[in-house]
């Protein structure tokens, strides 16, 4: 039987080895190759002799390593391009980098979108090949409002409300697309005569590529009715009760379905001359990699909880603890593991520092302490290295975590109420801090029992 110390070490090793195995630069390099003048993208071959210009536009948390891989392959064939990220991981020798805001857009987010639109418009022709490298996080760091009257402050207010209200990523991105001039395929529509190829590292469910970075190169199928339901479900109009501005006016227009039908379509979209889309990495592949590492390197009997993708954080935590206990009972005296992914729904209630991963683990620690589970360790962390409003990726805990905190005078309940899970785990040394990873395929949860 493994000790708690051994289980903790194994969980951390599995997480870090998984991050290395799904490295964004390596993944792109494996799917983008040159064979003479043929560019091989997955199982697609593109004859570069037909193009006099080649643009590379990379957007999202994985944009720098994705662009670096593309530059290694294409080198001086690249005519121009742009990289938009929230944190520079290494460099991008040939392409300029802009640091957009995340989780809220900033001035550089608007600048990045304006520069990309100008670049596409300038080079739009059938002799232009555009390589789009899209990853999660791009919704905030790359933006231009659909109405010039919508200010950066307006966009930040809406995005902050979406992040904090408990909306899932698809709901957030529907609202964003209805307020954006670059989302829902409108970035690609700026160069409709060009040949376009989009490569994705996905941070969304079911590989809905229209939701990755809010789908800058794919048209959106959401309706005004969808938009209305989300606005009303989360009470977003209350944000503008005092003195409605451009955003509030637009929300109110969209709320009036009858009149909204006479408004301009939210996503005017002109299909590019020729476009293809390739998914390179997603959360399920990260889960499978973690499972492989846990089985091969540590001898665990591993079950994937593929149904545990999106649920409220408390319900998700209870299901995970119940399942690892059942696995432990089923395989007595053998090491077992439960691995899941996706993102817990975790509304912010207080003004502390934390995120959904650390709150999941804080709740798990309380649960394990209450029932005094034996030889179980729980880890949850973001593959992007960032968990909510904190410098941590996530946290790790076991049944003794709460007792150790109590001995130091640290209240788990107080930190939970204040949405302050980071400071709880940081004080007891159980926060997982990786820094930005240059990747983003949602979260990983690893529960081990010995």
Confidence of residue 257 (pLDDT cuts 50, 70, 90): very low
In this structure, what CATH number is given to the domain that contains residue 236? 3.40.50.10180
Instruction: Give the CATH number, domain containing residue 355.
Output: 3.40.1480.10
Residues 165 and 276 in one domain: yes
What size, in residues, is the chain?
450
* 291/378 same-domain check: yes
How many domains, in total, are found in the chain?
2
CA angle 18, 20, 21 (to 5 degrees): 65
Beta strand 80-85 with 97-99 is parallel
Place of tokens 């210009």: 53
At 238, list the tokens: 């209350």
**pLDDT tens by residue, 2-44:** 899 999 999 999 999 999 999 999 999 999 999 999 999 988 9
Domain ends where: 246, 281, 316? Answer: 281
What is the pLDDT of the chain when averaged over all its residues?
Answer: 90
Average pLDDT of 45-58?
Answer: 97
Same domain, 306 and 269: no
CB burial readout 89-107, b (16+ within 10 A) else e: beebebbebbbbbbbbbbe
Same domain? 234 vs 289: no
What is the arithmetic mean of pLDDT over 290-311?
96
Could you tell me if 292 and 439 lie in one domain?
Answer: yes
219, 254, 281 - which closes a domain: 281
- Both 273 and 292 in one domain: the answer is no
Mean pLDDT check: name the lowest of 139-153, 235-249, 278-292.
Answer: 235-249
> Strand, helix or coil at 433?
coil
Q: What pTM did the predictor assign?
A: 0.89
Please check whether residues 76 and 179 belong to one and the same domain: yes
Q: Distance between CA atoms of 10 and 297, rounded to whole angstroms? A: 9
Same structural domain, 260 and 309? no
From CA 189, how far away is CA 121, in angstroms rounded?
9
* Average pLDDT estimate for 190-197: 94
- The string of pLDDT tens digits covering residues 95-153 is 999 999 988 999 999 999 999 999 999 999 999 999 999 999 999 999 999 888 788 88
- Indicate whether 268 and 332 sit together in one domain: no
**Whether residue 97 is found in the same domain as residue 143:** yes
HSE-CB of 278 using CA atoms within 13 angstroms = 19
Could you tell me if 261 and 353 lie in one domain?
no
Range of the domain at 327: 4-15+284-449
Longest dimension (CA), the chain: 70
**Angle of the 283-298 helix axis to the 4-21 helix axis, nearest 10:** 130
Of 281, 315, 348, the domain-final residue: 281
Going by their DSSP bridges, the two strands 443-449 and 376-382 should be labelled as antiparallel
Q: DSSP letter for 309, please.
A: S
Same domain, 219 and 297: no
Residue 368 backbone dihedrals phi, psi, to 5 degrees? -65, -35
| Six token digits for residue 424 | 């709880």
């Amino acid at each position: 039987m493994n000790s708690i110390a051994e289980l903790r070490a194994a969980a951390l090793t599995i997480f870090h080895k998984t991050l290395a195995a799904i490295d964004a630069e390596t993944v792109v390099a494996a799917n983008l190759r040159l064979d003479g003048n043929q560019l091989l993208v997955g199982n697609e071959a593109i004859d570069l002799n037909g193009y006099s210009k080649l643009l590379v536009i990379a957007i999202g948390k994985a944009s720098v390593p994705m662009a670096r891989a593309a530059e290694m392959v294409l080198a001086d064939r690249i005519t121009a391009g742009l990289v938009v990220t929230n944190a520079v991981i290494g460099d991008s020798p040939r392409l300029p980098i802009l640091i957009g805001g995340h989780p809220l857009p900033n001035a550089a987010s608007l600048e990045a979108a304006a520069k990309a639109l100008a670049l596409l418009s300038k080079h739009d022709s059938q002799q232009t090949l555009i390589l789009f490298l899209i990853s999660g996080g791009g919704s905030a760091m790359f933006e231009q409002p659909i109405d010039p009257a919508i200010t950066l402050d307006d966009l930040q207010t809406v995005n902050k409300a979406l992040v904090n209200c408990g909306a899932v990523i698809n709901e957030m991105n529907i609202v964003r697309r209805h307020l954006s001039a670059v989302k829902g395929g409108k970035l690609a529509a700026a160069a409709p005569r060009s040949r376009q190829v989009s490569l994705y590292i996905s941070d969304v469910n079911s590989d809905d590529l229209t939701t990755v970075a809010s789908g800058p190169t794919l048209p959106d199928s959401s309706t005004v009715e969808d938009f209305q339901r989300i606005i009303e479900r989360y009470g977003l109009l209350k944000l503008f009760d005092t003195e409605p501005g451009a955003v509030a006016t637009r929300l109110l227009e969209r709320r009036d379905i009858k009149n909204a039908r006479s408004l301009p379509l939210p996503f005017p979209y002109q299909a590019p001359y020729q476009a293809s889309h390739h998914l390179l990495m997603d959360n399920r592949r990260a889960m499978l990699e973690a499972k492989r590492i846990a089985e091969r390197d540590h001898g665990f009997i591993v079950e994937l909880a593929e149904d545990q993708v999106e649920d409220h954080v408390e319900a998700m935590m209870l299901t995970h603890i119940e399942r690892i206990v059942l696995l432990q009972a089923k395989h007595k005296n053998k090491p077992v593991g439960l691995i899941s992914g996706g993102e817990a729904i975790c509304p912010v209630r207080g003004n502390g520092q934390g995120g959904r991963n650390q709150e999941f683990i804080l709740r798990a620690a309380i649960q394990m302490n209450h029932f005094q589970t034996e030889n179980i360790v729980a880890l949850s962390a973001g593959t992007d290295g960032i968990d909510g409003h904190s410098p941590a990726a996530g946290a790790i805990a076991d049944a003794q975590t709460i007792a150790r905190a109590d001995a130091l005078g640290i209240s788990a309940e107080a930190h939970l109420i204040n949405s302050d899970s980071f400071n709880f785990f940081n004080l007891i040394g159980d926060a997982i801090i990786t820094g930005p990873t240059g990747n983003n395929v949602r979260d990983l949860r690893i529960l081990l029992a010995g």
